[in-house]
Chain A
Amino acid sequence: EAQVTQNPRYLITVTGKKLTVTCSQNMNHEYMSWYRQDPGLGLRQIYYSMNVEVTDKGDVPEGYKVSRKEKRNFPLILESPSPNQTSLYFCASSFLGQGNNQPQHFGDGTRLSIL
């Protein structure tokens, strides 16, 4: 089954304790990205990657890191989490072909609470 898998689904942690949210896709997609969803703000892109070892900032990258060492995986790293990073996070992936008409496929989300 084609899917984007995120882990963990839920996490409560404390300020400053490094954490990683994993994302894996099995569709051989070149493009992967991370979004955060906040009430009243919709979804905003944090980082994206167009292929292995190619990453770039989205609209709200501050406080986050990513890596793309393998095509299927795109982990999101919070080196020193702060309460304003409490949010619902989504990983998404898509093909890059045919211009930008490729829809993105989303994972089920990771709800992070930073105390």
Chain B
Amino acid sequence: GDSVTQMEGPVTLSEEAFLTINCTYTATGYPSLFWYVQYPGEGLQLLLKATKADDKGSNKGFEATYRKETTSFHLEKGSVQVSDSAVYFCALRPNRGGADGLTFGKGTHLIIQP
């Protein structure tokens, strides 16, 4: 079946450091890929998405590129802030006609220290 693998952390960085959170997936066909962020005590918010190979999603300084050849969708940010501390989920949605929900990775807890 479909699956998503991401580093679980916690990942601890200093403010202004460069961030990479790795995400790889297994799925048939061409799924849509998403990054969601969960701040403490809140629900999941869509951070960015990409729907086909080589698409780059971007939002709030975060970027991720849909790499079909490596089945990856790594999240990057050039300079993190304390306010970026949260749990980040990589997810895919299969392209099989609309019935499928999201398949999530286990989440990466990111801690940014001042």
Q: Is the CB of A100 within 8 A of B89?
A: no
Interface size on A, residues (CB 8 A): 28
User: Which of A11-19, A43-51, A74-82 interfaces with chain B?
Assistant: A43-51
Q: Is the CB of A105 within 8 A of B101?
A: no
Q: Is the CB of B31 within 8 A of A100?
A: yes
Query: CA of A10 to CA of B99 in the docked complex: distance in angstroms?
Result: 29
Chain B, interface size category, equals 20 to 34
Q: Is the CB of A45 within 8 A of B102?
A: yes
Q: Does B32 contact A (CB under 8 A)?
A: yes
Query: CA of A96 to CA of B44 in the docked complex: distance in angstroms?
Result: 19
Given A50-B98, A108-B43: 16 more A-B contacts, CB < 8 Å:
A35-B102, A40-B8, A42-B104, A42-B105, A45-B101, A45-B102, A56-B99, A92-B101, A92-B102, A99-B32, A100-B93, A101-B49, A101-B51, A103-B34, A104-B102, A106-B43
